[in-house]
Structure formats: C-alpha cells, structure tokens
C-alpha cells in the first residue's frame, strides 16, 4: 500500500485500479435513487483518534446544493462537538453541547456557539467532500498534519432570532445556545461589508474593558461578569485535496485528501457567572496514556472526475 501523501506516481498503481473498480459501486451521482433524495446530504462516518489517544466516531456530512459541510464528534466525556462550514455565507460555526453535572444542580446540558469567518482554504470544498468514500470503515484515522492552535477572543454576541440573516444553519445548529452565541468584531466587519444586516450583532462590553475582567475560574461570586475560555479540537478533517498525475491524463486530477487536526480556544464574556444559559467548563480531565499509534495507512480516495 502506498503511504498517503505520495501521489506523484506516474503510472496506475494497484490502489488506483482498485479505485476505478470501486467508484462505480460507491459513487451514486446526484438524482439517482429516491427522487426526493436528489441533492440530499451525503454522510461519511470515520473512526478517529483524539489527541488524548482515545478513539471516537466522527460524522462528516456534505451538502453540495447548500454548499456546506458539517462535522460532528462525541468526546469520551460525552461532550458533543460540531463544526459547520457554510461556504455560501463565509461562516463557520463551532458548537459544544456539554453535559451538565446534575449533582451540582446544572441543567442537563449546556450549549455554546462560536461563529467566525470561514476562509475557503480551511477545509476542502463541499462538492469534493460529498464524493469522499473510504475503503476501510474500521480503520482508525489519525490526522496527517497538526495545524497550529488558534486562540480567539469572542467579543460580540449574535442575536439568535436574527441569526438566519448571517447563515441559515445558525437556527438549527445554535438552537440550544440561544443566549450563548459569540463572534468577533473583525469577522463582523467583514460580514457587514458583505451586506449582512447589523441587527444580527449585539455589542458586549468593549474588548478593552473585557481585558480588565477576571477569568471566570477566579471569580468567587456568582452574578459577577467574567471571561471564560473553552477549548475544542477538530480531531480529523479533510483540509486539502491531493492531486495525482496519470500517464494517460494531460492534467493532474483529484485523487485524495490530506487530513488535518486543529485546536481552537475561545475566550468569551459571561455577564453573570454560572447562571442558566452560561457555562464555563472546568478544564478537561485528561485520562490514561495514549495507546501506541497504529500503522493504519489507508488513504481516502475521491472518484476520478
């Protein structure tokens, strides 16, 4: 088996021959099958290794009509992380559904939504994602590249009832986080230039004032404003297309993906510490030693187009 990332093989390899055999079976062009299902989102379920070594299942959905991708994974502590890329609106949405600690009187779960500008080179296009298939669904995948962590200061609130003006996905994705949808001044400036209505955004205390606020972990009093931090990891996502050269083809063609892992952390303003609708999660508990890496080297392939 060729190692992933080596695509410059000039002649058809066994993997490519296998691919051409698999493609007619696996690639159902849009409109084939149930009539009502034309353009329906496609789903890929992959097993991924989290940064702490544990394995979880991740679901990746692509909707090429809506030009969007969504990714969902459950962490071992039960937290559900989701990521939505809306290419039409240059919006990406991170959502965390965090299980509450009932014995501490917290509600069943709490939700946070972080909305920032999507740059189109962050993840592969939805149309390519929709064609992605895997040959070995049992394989545990580990990202080929770890991208540098990104730390964001979320200094603007998003008004949920106006959210559809920013992205139609917001209504579904952030429905549980109505009072905890955050974005950033710099992204708001970009969207306003794109014609998004200003009523979507609500000012929080200015960044300069927020700097003076304590970290929520250091505030004793409930009811006092503070700054929380929440970190999450996109354990595995297709971040780039790979191109191959074929003997019989004049131009390079798409033949696979490169996978990435990236951590994000968000600082956000909480008007009143630990009231319903706000959540300042405790630092995640690390557990156990990571199992040794496997020799899994099965690439994902895109059908030849």
Taking the complex as a whole, the smallest distance from the CB of residue 178 to ligand NAG amounts, in Å, to 9
Name the nearest CA neighbour of 183 among 89, 44, 305, 257.
89
CB 197 within 8 A of CB 83: no
Residue keyed to tokens 């986080």:
177
**Which residue, 134 or 162, is less far from ligand NAG as judged by CB?**
162
* Chain-centre distance for alpha carbon 72: 7
Binding mask 168-197 for ligand NAG (x = CB under 6 A): ------------------------------
Position among 8, 33, 149, 252 found at the interface with ligand NAG (CB under 6 A): 149
Cα–Cα distance for residue pair 115/186, rounded to 1 Å:
12
User: What size, in residues, is the chain?
Assistant: 305
DSSP assignment, residue 216?
Answer: G
**Count residues contacting ligand NAG (CB under 6 A)?**
11
Taking the complex as a whole, the smallest distance from the CB of residue 288 to ligand NAG amounts, in Å, to 12
Q: Using the CB atoms, write b or e for 121-137: b if 16+ within 10 Å.
A: ebbbbbebbbbbbbeee
The residues near 63 (Cβ < 8 Å, ≥ 6 apart) are: 39, 40, 41, 42, 69, 126, 130
> Per rule CB under 6 A, is residue 263 in the interface with ligand NAG?
yes
Taking the complex as a whole, the smallest distance from the CB of residue 200 to ligand NAG amounts, in Å, to 8
Position among 107, 172, 199, 294 found at the interface with ligand NAG (CB under 6 A): 199
Cα–Cα distance for residue pair 192/69, rounded to 1 Å:
23
> Per rule CB under 6 A, is residue 150 in the interface with ligand NAG?
no
**Which residue, 159 or 272, is less far from ligand NAG as judged by CB?**
159
> What is the secondary structure of 112-126 as a DSSP string?
EEEEEEPPTTSS--H
> Per rule CB under 6 A, is residue 52 in the interface with ligand NAG?
yes
> Per rule CB under 6 A, is residue 151 in the interface with ligand NAG?
no
> Per rule CB under 6 A, is residue 291 in the interface with ligand NAG?
no
Taking the complex as a whole, the smallest distance from the CB of residue 33 to ligand NAG amounts, in Å, to 39
Taking the complex as a whole, the smallest distance from the CB of residue 54 to ligand NAG amounts, in Å, to 10
Contacting positions for ligand NAG (CB under 6 A): 51-52, 146, 149, 159, 161-162, 199, 202, 233, 263
């Amino acid at each position: 088996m060729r190692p992933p990332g080596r695509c410059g093989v000039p002649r058809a390899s066994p993997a490519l021959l296998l691919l051409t055999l698999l493609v007619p079976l696996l690639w159902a062009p849009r409109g084939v099958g149930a009539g009502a299902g034309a353009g329906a989102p496609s789903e890929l379920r992959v097993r991924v290794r989290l940064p702490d070594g544990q394995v979880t299942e991740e679901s990746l959905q692509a909707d090429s009509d809506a030009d969007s991708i969504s990714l969902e994974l459950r962490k071992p502590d039960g937290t559900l992380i989701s990521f939505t890329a809306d290419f039409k609106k240059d919006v990406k949405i991170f959502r965390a559904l965090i299980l509450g600690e009932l014995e501490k009187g917290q509600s069943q779960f709490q939700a946070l939504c972080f909305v920032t500008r999507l740059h189109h080179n962050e993840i592969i296009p939805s149309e390519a994602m929709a064609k992605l298939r895997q040959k070995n669904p049992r394989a545990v995948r580990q990202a080929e590249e770890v991208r540098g962590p990104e730390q964001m200061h979320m200094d603007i609130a998003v008004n949920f009832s106006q959210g559809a003006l920013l992205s139609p996905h917001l209504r579904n994705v952030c429905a549980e986080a109505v009072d905890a949808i955050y974005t950033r001044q710099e992204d708001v400036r970009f969207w306003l230039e794109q014609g998004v209505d200003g009523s979507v955004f609500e000012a929080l205390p200015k960044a300069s004032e927020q700097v003076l606020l304590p970290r929520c972990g250091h505030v004793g009093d409930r009811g006092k404003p503070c700054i929380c931090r929440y970190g999450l990891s996109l354990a595995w996502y297709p971040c780039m297309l790979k191109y191959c050269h074929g003997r019989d083809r004049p131009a390079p063609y798409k033949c696979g993906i490169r996978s990435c892992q990236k951590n994000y952390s968000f600082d956000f303003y909480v008007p009143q510490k630990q009231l319903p609708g706000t959540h300042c999660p405790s630092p995640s508990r690390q557990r156990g030693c990571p199992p040794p890496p496997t020799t899994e080297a099965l690439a994902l392939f895109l059908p030849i187009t």
